[in-house]
Chain A
Amino acid sequence: MSSPIVLQIFRGEGDSGAEQRFEVPAVEGMVVLDAVHYVQANFANDLACRWNCKAAKCGSCSAEINGRPRLMCKTRVDEFVGEIHVGPMRTFPLIKDLVTDVSWNYEVNKQIPGFTPAANEPVPYKMLPEDTERVYEYRKCIECFLCQDVCHVLRNHDDKSAYYGPRYMVRIAALEMHPLDTRKRTGLLHGKAGIGMCNITKCCQEVCPEHIKITDNAIIPLKERTATDVYDPVARIARKLNPFSGAAGISDLVAATDGQASTPQRFTVKDVVRLKTRGRQFARVASVLPDGKLQVWVLRMNGSVQHWDGPKIVHTSDVTNNYGPLDEVGIGGKLVEQYITEDHAAEQHG
């Protein structure tokens, strides 16, 4: 390795920029990040790049090397013949040089309801070894966002509103597969998280530096779970017979009838219910009062914006159906579309 390494490093801010050529002396065992550091120390002190651990554990030095999303610290320069092109991740807005603004990911993360064990779960929690091992794989994620970068759904949609991306499928899987978690997130997955957008090209799985089988072990099982909860007719009937145990899947809304629920309904705070009153409005349980009364907030749609009116006191007999706990995001987006179309249809028939 006597001839120098030739790097073409992208430099620029915002919308503009171009590659700049640098020559770096080759060193045994050198990785791309070392070469970038050499450039930084000797030619361009202000070259912007994120980095930290140099051991593929922090997930900050993500870049596109010869067009492929990689960690710079894990990519040897002697893998390549000829020039090495180093550029920022293209899926996220450019800040400067190799640094991109990945804050969208954190906003998405906030929308995922966290670990929710049953309120009466005895403490300290007990778990079987195989149950804990099952969620280990998802916990390996270092949040380098290479999977988000390579995902064509995110890459090709500027507003990124259609899909949360592979990273958050992994996070949701970690929560969903947690043996003590009681929350259903299939409504969210079907709705705003947009799991249906993934068509299993497995690109994310291929670029993952932690070798998490994102598609095989997170996305596909979650797709199955979502399909069961949202579409499976048997599960739907089972839920209707025992609404409390069911998922807050969207198909319930379609199937909702003026049902005399065959089992007495139970309510807890945050449950989404539908009222028998005119327009069969959705409401959210604010508190459960004695004598079979509920304090609720009633959903009123203003265009696509949700308004919750109330609090209002209703009797449990005024409730036609209980969809289980409010899944903060599932109630938005697609659920609302469903609600509007359904109401529209009801008006036509009525």
Chain B
Amino acid sequence: MPSARSRVCNVLVIGTGAAGLRAAIAATEAGSQVLVVGKRHRLDAHTVLAAGGINAVLGTRDPEDSWEQHFADTLREGYFIGHPRMVEIMAQEAPAAVRELADWGCPFARLEDGRLDQRFFGAHTYRRTCYAGDYTGRAVLFALAGKAQQLAIPVIEDQYISRLLVADRACFGAYGFDLVSGERTVFEADAVVLATGGHTRLWRRSSSRRDENYGEGMSLALEAGCRLMDMELVQFHPTGMVLPEEVAGTLVTEAVRGEGGYLTNREGKRFMLEVDPKKKELSSRDVVARAIYKEVQAGRGTEHGGAYLDVRHLGPEKIKKKLPSMYEQFLKLADVDITKQPMEIAPTIHYAMGGLRVEAETGATTLPGLYAAGEAAAGLHGANRLGGNSLSDLLVFGRRAGAAAGAYVREVQLGKIDERQVTEEQRILLLPLSADGTENTYLLQQQLQKAMQDGAGLAREEKSLKACLDKILELRQRSARIHVPGSRKYNPGWHTARDLRFMLTVAEAIVRAAIERRESRGAHWRLDYLEKDPALGRVNFIAYNDGGHVTLKTRPVPEMPPELAKLFAEPESSSPAPPPAASPPKPQQVRT
């Protein structure tokens, strides 16, 4: 490439979402010189889509709540394959994280007496979710960005990181290029924090924003020799839009059911009354998603393979007042007036529970000098994520990863640049522009998303997963023959060609792990193994790079200390235990 730049810093943070910014703030406070890079405009991170809220045991509404209860709820909902120490840290440190954000100007909703308000989210025992309207994520991100600006932390936009640089078994920076000019930059750093989000855009019908969540960070780390964990565990949100095709998967907030919406099949029957007579439509996400799937399989689905979500009985006034964004979303995108017609919905891919295997205390990956936080990291959520826990995750572990990276920097010797890695990456990157191949990168990407949707979706079985794996391997072959016209200057085709490499690597890890988990657990639903397997309930699947192939091994789930184990009367109980009988009234149950 013509002009190569190099930038030097102590800690390089990849990703400008809440986890990345929180890590950058912590590393700066630890005395490091920090540089934050992102693919998008600043303040345009996926965090903004987190609408519902952030969990922290403050006890403002329910003083009897405790961090132990938050711990128990989270681990139980994760079907006991989450990392107990991570869950413990999250439950203990989330309150401080939320208070700190409020102090940085985040406009959380308040009670009459001025304290932070808390509301219910599904499957929590008490009210412990703080929120700011229906855009909590954006409010959190803006508060963090304001703090980062006060600390004068540099953020560089439009940077595409395509490789982690490794020497002597340690990470010392990353290779990237500028999306606008196409010029490369070598980022030299003593430590790198990956805050790159998840991988849910691998599926066609996903609630993720369209042009992100390709599993970039997971793939970067796997290629650099790190281990991934729990890749088969992917959360489905039961209600995504079905039509129009172009926006399929866009989230229909859980508030719709929280406000009293009915789920009906083609015959107009409320099928949730039978599936879960107690919680009805507000049963947990995996249960509702599966119920919809079963209705469709039984031939009682809607015309486009979903179910109806009906709020007409609430009356137009209440709908417009309580669900204004949904009213507008359907009117604008689907020409559906939800005060007059039911919404057509189907389950949509929502969240990656799997990701990089990290140390609970520090977010350190298996590669020295490389840290990870947020959706990119695994362990906290186990087999199913509780609503509102993801924002707590970002803040608590973002801070820990940044602080740990800052501490590591003080100890480490200067890394060496391995020129060969730079030239090698450069060669691979430029291939699609120079090669005389015939494959269209966009069409390959669409095929991969379709294969994942068909083979590794909500309901999985050995046959469909193996077919999906074959398709992935075929697409990998074909991706070597991609050709993209034009120059390096802001060329989305060229960017997509690199995205596709990330996607194929991560897809392979997901599908291989999904084949191996021969049981149904949490979000992972195998039609050929409908029951839980207690033996598999004691292990996590680890994926690693073995000479260019994604290979799997198992690792026992870490044990929890006896005093915490006592919280669970029957840790191997077949389903998440219901909340205590004395649970307080639930005025509002919202999560998105």
> Which A residues are within 8 Å of any B CB, using their own CB?
13, 27-31, 34, 40-42, 44-55, 57-60, 74, 95-97, 99, 101-103, 106, 109-110, 114-115, 117, 123-129, 131-132, 135-136, 139-140, 142-143, 178, 180-181
Contact of B107 among A13, A29, A135 (CB under 8 A): A135
Inter-chain contact A114/B149, CB cutoff 8 Å: yes
Report whether A128 and B132 are in contact in the complex, using a CB–CB cutoff of 8 Å: no
**Is the CB–CB distance between B209 and A45 below 8 Å?**
no
Q: Identify 16 residue pairs between A and B in the complex whose beta-carbon atoms are under 8 Å apart, listed by A's number.
A: A29-B335, A31-B246, A31-B333, A45-B492, A45-B493, A46-B485, A58-B48, A96-B489, A97-B490, A99-B490, A117-B105, A123-B103, A129-B111, A139-B132, A140-B135, A140-B138
Contact of A53 among B49, B99, B111 (CB under 8 A): B49
Within the complex, the shortest CB–CB distance from B494 to chain A, in Å, comes to 7
CA distance A175 to B43 in the complex (A): 17
Cα A53 to Cα B250 with chains together (Å) = 9
Q: Which of B102, B334, B441 contacts A124 (CB 8 A)?
A: B102
**CB of B574 closer than 8 Å to a CB of A:** no
Is the CB–CB distance between A115 and B108 below 8 Å?
no
A55 contact from B247, B440, B494, Cβ within 8 A: B247
Given contacts A52-B210, A99-B180, A29 and B486 within 8 Å (CB-CB):
no
Cβ A110 vs Cβ B149 within 8 A? yes
Q: Which of B49, B138, B150, B443 contacts A41 (CB 8 A)?
A: B443
| B117 neighbours in A (Cβ, 8 Å) | 129
A60-B44, A129-B112, A139-B139 as given contacts; A30 in contact with B246, CB under 8 Å = yes
Which residue of chain A has the shortest Cβ distance to B147 in the bound complex?
A114
Minimal beta-carbon separation of B411 from chain A (angstroms): 33
User: Please, how many angstroms separate the alpha-carbon atoms of A178 and B244 in the complex?
Assistant: 40
Q: How far is the CA of A97 from the CA of B487 in the complex (A)?
A: 13
Main secondary structure of the interface of B (DSSP, over half): loop
Q: Which residue of A lies closest to B115 (CB)?
A: A126
Interchain CB contact under 8 A, A53 and B210: yes
B44 A58 Cβ-Cβ under 8 A: yes
Decide: A29 and B138 in contact? CB cutoff 8 A: no
Digit string of B477-507 for contact with A (CB within 8 Å is 1, else 0)? Answer: 0000000111101111110000000000000
For the complex, is B290 an interface residue (Cβ under 8 Å from A)?
no
Q: Which residues of B contact A103 (CB under 8 A)?
A: 157
A143 to B244, CA, bound (A): 26
Please state if B146 and A114 are interface contacts (CB–CB under 8 Å).
yes
User: Which residues of chain A have C-beta atoms less than 8 A from B211's C-beta?
Assistant: 51-52
Residues of A within 8 A of B139 (CB): 139
CB-CB under 8 A from B149, the residues of chain A are 109-110, 114
Binding site for A on B (CB under 8 A): 40-44, 48-49, 99, 102-105, 107-117, 132-133, 135, 138-139, 142, 146-147, 149-150, 157, 180, 209-212, 243-247, 250, 329, 332-335, 440-443, 446, 484-487, 489-494
Cα of A117 to Cα of B100 in the assembled complex, Å: 13
For A115, give its contact among B105, B485, B486 (CB under 8 Å).
Answer: B105
- Do B209 and A52 touch (CB < 8 A)? yes
Given A48-B491, A95-B180, A127-B110, A54-B209 contact (CB < 8 Å): yes
Chain B positions within 8 Å of A101 at CB level: 180
Alpha-carbon gap, A123 to B102, bound state (A): 10
Q: How far is the CB of A55 from chain B (nearest CB, A)?
A: 6
Given the complex, which residues of B lie within 8 Å of A27, measured CB to CB?
244-246
Contacts of A99 in B (CB 8 A): 180, 490
Complex contact B246–A41 (CB within 8 A): no
- List the B side residues contacting A57 at CB < 8 Å: 48-49, 209
Whether A46 contacts B491 by the Cβ 8 Å rule is yes
CA distance A117 to B106 in the complex (A): 12
| A178–B105 touching, CB < 8 Å | yes
Are A53 and B209 in contact, with the CB atoms below 8 A?
Answer: yes
Across the interface, name the chain A residue whose C-beta is closest to B112: A129
CB-CB under 8 A from B109, the residues of chain A are 129, 132
CA distance A139 to B102 in the complex (A): 14
Contacts of A136 in B (CB 8 A): 107, 132-133
CB of B552, distance to nearest CB on chain A (Å): 33
Q: Which of B103, B146, B333, B490 is within 8 Å of A96, CB to CB?
A: B490
How far apart are B356's CB and chain A's nearest CB, in angstroms? 23
Which A residues are in CB contact (< 8 Å) with B485? Answer: 44-46
- For the complex of A and B, 5 pairs with smallest distance between CB atoms: A46-B486, A29-B244, A45-B493, A126-B114, A115-B105
B107 lies within 8 A of A139 (CB): yes
> For residue A46, which residues in chain B have a CB less than 8 angstroms away from its CB?
484-487, 491-494
What is the bound-complex CA distance between A28 and B246, given in angstroms?
Answer: 9
Please determine whether B44 and A143 come into contact, CB atoms closer than 8 angstroms. yes
Q: Quick check: A45 and B44 within 8 Å, CB to CB?
A: no
A128 neighbours in B (Cβ, 8 Å): 110, 112, 114
What chain A residues lie within 8 Å of B492 (beta carbons)? 40, 45-49
How far is it, in angstroms, between the C-alpha of A109 and the C-alpha of B148 when the chains are bound?
13
Contacts of B99 in A (CB 8 A): 123-124
Taking CB atoms, residues of chain B closer than 8 Å to A117 are: 103, 105
Q: Are B243 and A52 in contact (CB under 8 A)?
A: no
Q: In this complex, which of A109, A117, A123, A127 has the most chain B Cβ atoms within 10 angstroms of its Cβ?
A: A127
Q: A123-B103, A126-B114, A126-B115 are in contact. Are A45 and B441 (CB under 8 A)?
A: yes
Measured in the bound complex, the distance between the Cα atoms of B490 and A29 in whole Å is: 28
Residue among A40, A48, A128, A143 with the highest chain B CB neighbour number at 10 A: A48
List residues of chain A with CB within 8 A of the CB of B49: 53, 55, 57
- Flag if B209 contacts A55 (CB, 8 Å): yes
Report the minimal beta-carbon distance from B422 to chain A, rounded to whole angstroms: 25
